[in-house]
């Protein structure tokens, strides 16, 4: 399965600032996904990032708040913009590995705390 890394692993940020989270995969993948896991909650899909096209956002998530880049087949970034304490969450990226039958594999996550 694909090996996925995320940077930073955790951060503490001030209200009103922005943070960009990086997701790196050790192999080329078509689809990359970004999820949010609020404290004590399950995972919610933010958007899907396909290389060469704009990200597709889920209901309740907008590009101005969570801009996503996907410059190549092994890398993506998610920016959390104009942060508020409600954005404190774990942000996870995942990739779909078609080599193993449409299965998503997850990165270790980025734990974000907004003060």
In terms of CB distance, is 14 or 53 closer to other proteins? Answer: 53
> Which 55-74 positions form the footprint of other proteins (CB under 8 A)?
56
The answer to the question of residue 43 lying near other proteins (CB under 8 A) is yes
The nearer residue to other proteins, 16 or 99, going by C-beta atoms, is: 99
Could you tell me the two tokens for 23? 């997701």
Cβ atoms of residues 12 and 111 within 8 Å: no
Enumerate residues 6-25 that contact other proteins by CB under 8 A. 6
74 Cβ contact list (under 8 Å, min separation 6):
24, 25, 26, 27, 28, 29
CB of 14 to other proteins, least distance (A): 23
Query: Are 106 and 93 contacting, i.e. CB atoms less than 8 angstroms apart?
Result: yes
- Candidates 12-20, 61-69, 78-86, 93-101; binding stretch for other proteins (CB under 8 A): 93-101
Q: What does the angle CA 87 – CA 114 – CA 47 come to, to the nearest 5 degrees?
A: 30
| Cβ(53)–Cβ(36) below 8 Å | no
Residues found near other proteins in the complex (CB under 8 A):
1, 4, 6, 30-31, 33, 41-45, 48, 56, 92, 94, 96, 101-109, 111
């Amino acid at each position: 399965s694909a090996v996925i890394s995320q940077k930073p692993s955790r951060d503490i940020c001030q209200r009103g600032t922005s943070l960009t989270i990086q997701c790196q995969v050790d192999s080329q993948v078509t689809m990359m996904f970004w999820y949010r896991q609020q404290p004590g909650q399950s995972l919610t899909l933010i958007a899907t990032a396909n290389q060469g096209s704009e990200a597709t956002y889920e209901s309740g998530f907008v590009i101005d708040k969570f801009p996503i880049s996907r410059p190549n087949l092994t890398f993506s970034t998610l920016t959390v913009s104009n942060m508020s304490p409600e954005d404190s969450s774990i942000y996870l990226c995942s990739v779909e590995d078609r080599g193993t039958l449409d299965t998503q594999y997850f990165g270790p996550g980025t734990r974000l705390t907004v003060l």
